[in-house]
Amino acid sequence: MGKKLYVHVGGTTNQTGFKEVEAPNLKVHDGSNANQTGFKQVKKGYVHVGGTTNETGFKEFYVGSDPIKYTFYANRAKYFRHTDGYWGSSPSVVSIRTGQWNAELFYPYANIYNNSTYVGVFGFDSITAGGLTLAQAMADRPYITTATPTDGSSNENYLELTRSSTSITGYTYAYGTWYIGKYGGDTTDTYPDADDCSYTGAITKAYTGGSTLSRGETAKVTPSTAEMQVFATHLKTNPLFITNKNSIAEIKNTPLSPGNQGSAGFTNGEYSVFFGKDETTPPKLVLTLDYVAP
């Protein structure tokens, strides 16, 4: 992470004599001409702090704001349900499946379909954009910001998940509320674990009042700056989860109890399959990052 630059302005011999150098008060002449137009504002630089005679003696500092927008695509995705105890594979091993679905059942066979909800898991930490991983980008610019990027593009901070166009069982038009939060494990784990889902800081994406998410349609999730800061920091090393349940207990719950159903098949409105890693439209993360906090 970059460090601030201070200059001693006199008047004291201790730290109170130092003042922070703020943009645009630090400039360097680029040699292009002999007048003031040759001076360029310094946004980030390096100062030699001694101790070595090579590059390791230099320490980074930043002065002011220099926001840049980055786009990352998911490098891993899977799904599970607690009652299965393993990662799913239909319609693919990288599908992101959510919601509750059980086939049409007839008594007394309901007990063999006593299943919990699907939970999708997806992450972005190793995907590069402009040669940077998410961790590298945030090491350079650690703060999510709403400032306008210096390259002239629009400021954006959001997640996107696209519903698969497959005809896998489920409603053509999905609706309801999905919960997105931090997953403490990873898709590289041998077995998934519902207890790895954290609802602290979780956000929701809802389709209500006749609004639906069709097959092939993209759901755009726009957390607040503070919420995205928490997500992005987590995503440097671990993935997120998405499900239609609002607690770990509900993820584990099995609403079809053995032996008490007649014609019992049902589908949650939120039941959906989203595209995963390397599929038609993989999950996307867009962040605007800056040296300084907004």
Q: DSSP labels for 162-217?
A: EB-----SS-SEE-EEEEEEEESS-TTSSS--GGGEEEEEEEEEEE-TT--EETTP
pLDDT at 131: 74
- pLDDT at residue 89, as a whole number: 95
Among candidate residues 23, 43, 64, the one where a domain is terminated: 64
pLDDT band at 46 (very low <50, low <70, confident <90, very high): low
User: Do residues 150 and 282 both lie within one domain?
Assistant: yes
Same domain? 98 vs 212 = yes
**d(C-alpha 286, C-alpha 158), whole Å:** 5
How many angstroms separate the CA atoms of 175 and 166, rounded? 17
Half-sphere exposure of 194 (CA within 13 A, CB side): 20
Q: What does the alpha-carbon distance between residue 169 and residue 88 come to, in Å, rounded to a whole number?
A: 15
**Smallest Cα–Cα separation from 271: which of 122, 104, 112, 102?**
102
Domain C-terminal end among 36, 64, 92: 64
Q: Which residues pair with 77 in a beta bridge?
A: 122
How high is the pLDDT of residue 154? 93
Contacts of 22 (CB under 8 A, 6+ apart): 63, 64
Is 1 among the domain residues? no
Q: Are 31 and 145 in a shared domain?
A: no
Scanning the structure block, which residue is given the tokens 């009652």? 83
Residues 36 and 151 grouped into a single domain: no
User: What is d(CA 118, CA 162) in angstroms, rounded to the nearest whole number?
Assistant: 17
Mean pLDDT value across residues 116-142: 88
Are the C-beta atoms of 117 and 249 separated by less than 8 Å? no
Q: Which residue has the higher pLDDT, 158 or 269?
A: 158
Tell me: do 180 and 149 sit in the same domain: yes
CA distance 40 to 54: 26
Residue type (1 letter), 127: I
Predicted pLDDT of residue 10:
67
Summarised one tens digit per residue, pLDDT across range 48-57 is 666 666 666 6
Q: What is the pLDDT of residue 1?
A: 38
In this prediction, what percent of the chain has a pLDDT beyond 70?
69
Confidence of residue 170 (pLDDT cuts 50, 70, 90): low
Given the DSSP bridges, would you call strands 68-73 and 284-290 parallel, antiparallel or unpaired? Answer: antiparallel
Whether residues 175 and 141 fall in one domain = yes
- Asked whether residue 88 falls in the same domain as residue 33, the answer is no
Distance of alpha carbon 124 from alpha carbon 71, whole angstroms:
10
Total count of domains within the chain: 2
Please tell me the predicted confidence (pLDDT) of residue 55: 63
Rounded Cα distance between 140 and 289, Å, is 9
Q: Check residues 88 and 23 and name the one with the higher pLDDT.
A: 88
- The mean per-residue pLDDT over the stretch 226-245 comes to 97
In a domain, 150, yes or no: yes
pLDDT digits (tens, 9 = 90+) for 105-124: 555 544 455 789 999 999 99
The answer to whether 281 and 80 have CB atoms below 8 angstroms apart is: no
Domain that holds residue 53: 6-64
| Of 64, 84, 101, the domain-final residue | 64
**Helix, strand counts (H, E) of the chain:** 3, 22
pLDDT at 4: 61
Whether 34 and 154 map to the same domain: the answer is: no
Residues 184 and 244 in one domain: yes
Q: Tell me, what's the pLDDT at 96?
A: 97
